[in-house]
Structure 1
Amino acid sequence: MNIRQARHGRRFRSGLTPDQCSTLTMTLFPFFQNAYNHLDLLNLCFLFTVTCFVNKYVLSVLRFMYPTIFQGWQTLVGAVFIQIQIMQGYIDPVFDVNNRQTLILCLPELVLFAISIYSGSKALANITIPAFLAVCNGCLLMKRISNCFLHRTFMLSDPIGWLTHGTLVITVLGVLKTDPMYHYDGYFWVYVHIACLGAIFLFTEINKDIIRLNKTKLLFYNYVFSIFVFAPCSYLLGDAAAAVNFKHFYLYRFYVGCILSGVFGVLLNLQHIKLEESKLSTYDESVHIAKIVASVMSVPVFHFPMTKEHILWILANQITTVFIISYSRHKYTEQKQINFPGEMD
Structure 2
Amino acid sequence: MQWRRHIAGLAFSFVFVVSYFTNKFVLSVLKFTYPTLFQGWQTFIGAILLLLSGKLGWVEMSRITRSAALSWLPGSLLFVGNIYAGSRSLSRINSSHVVSYIILKVIHREKAQWLKFISLCLMLLSAINLPLFDPQFDYSGYLWAVGHLFCVGAYRVFQVHYKPSNLSDLEQQCINYLFSVLLLAIAAHPTGDLTGALEFPSLQSSTFHCGCCASALLGFLLLLATVKLKSGFSFEHFGVWIFLSKITAMSLSPFIFHMDFNIPALICVVVSHVAEALLVYSERESL
User: What residue number does 1:307 align with?
Assistant: 262
Shift of residue 269, structure 1, vs aligned partner: 1.7
Unaligned runs of 5+ in 2: none
User: What residue number does 1:4 align with?
Assistant: none
Matched, 1:143 2:97: no
Match of 2:205 among 251, 256, 259: 251
The question of whether the paired residues in 1 share the 8 Å contact of 2:22 and 2:211 is answered with yes
User: What residue number does 2:275 align with?
Assistant: 320
Q: Which moved more, 1:87-96 or 1:61-70?
A: 87-96
The question of whether the paired residues in 1 share the 8 Å contact of 2:43 and 2:177 is answered with yes
Aligned residues: 286
Q: Which amino acid aligns with 1:36?
A: R
Match of 1:101 among 67, 77, 80: 67
Mapping of residues 239-318 of structure 1, within 5 Å: 239-280=193-234, 281-318=236-273
User: What residue number does 1:166 align with?
Assistant: 121
Q: Which moved more, 1:59-68 or 1:198-207?
A: 198-207
Structure 2 CA distance for aligned equivalents of residues 268 and 277 of structure 1: 14
Shift of residue 90, structure 1, vs aligned partner: 2.7
Match of 2:150 among 177, 189, 195: 195
Distance 1:68 1:94, change over 3 A: farther
Structure 1 CA distance for aligned equivalents of residues 147 and 196 of structure 2: 24
User: What residue number does 1:29 align with?
Assistant: none
Shift of residue 235, structure 1, vs aligned partner: 1.1
Structure 2 CA distance for aligned equivalents of residues 80 and 201 of structure 1: 25
Structure 1 CA distance for aligned equivalents of residues 9 and 59 of structure 2: 23
Structure 2 CA distance for aligned equivalents of residues 212 and 152 of structure 1: 29
Structure 2 CA distance for aligned equivalents of residues 152 and 212 of structure 1: 29
Structure 1 CA distance for aligned equivalents of residues 204 and 62 of structure 2: 37
Structure possessing the higher relative contact order (Cα contacts under 8 Å, 6 or more residues apart): 2
- C-alpha RMSD of matched pairs (Å): 1.6
User: What residue number does 2:26 align with?
Assistant: 58
Identity %: 27
User: What residue number does 1:12 align with?
Assistant: none
- What secondary structure, in the 3-state scheme, does the structure 1 residue paired with 2:58 have? coil
The question of whether the paired residues in 1 share the 8 Å contact of 2:41 and 2:216 is answered with yes
Match of 1:114 among 80, 86, 111: 80
Spell out, residue by residue over 1:206-235, the C-alpha distance to the aligned partner (whole angstroms, 9 max, x if none).
Answer: 212x54311001111110110101111111
User: What residue number does 1:70 align with?
Assistant: 38
Q: Which moved more, 1:159-168 or 1:58-67?
A: 159-168
Shift of residue 104, structure 1, vs aligned partner: 2.1
Distance 1:225 1:287, change over 3 A: same
Structure 1 CA distance for aligned equivalents of residues 201 and 158 of structure 2: 41
User: What residue number does 1:3 align with?
Assistant: none
Structure 1 CA distance for aligned equivalents of residues 36 and 175 of structure 2: 18
Q: Which amino acid aligns with 2:84?
A: Y
Q: Which amino acid aligns with 2:269?
A: I
Q: Which amino acid aligns with 1:41?
A: G
Which structure is larger by alpha-carbon Rg, 1 or 2?
1
Structure 2 CA distance for aligned equivalents of residues 102 and 146 of structure 1: 25
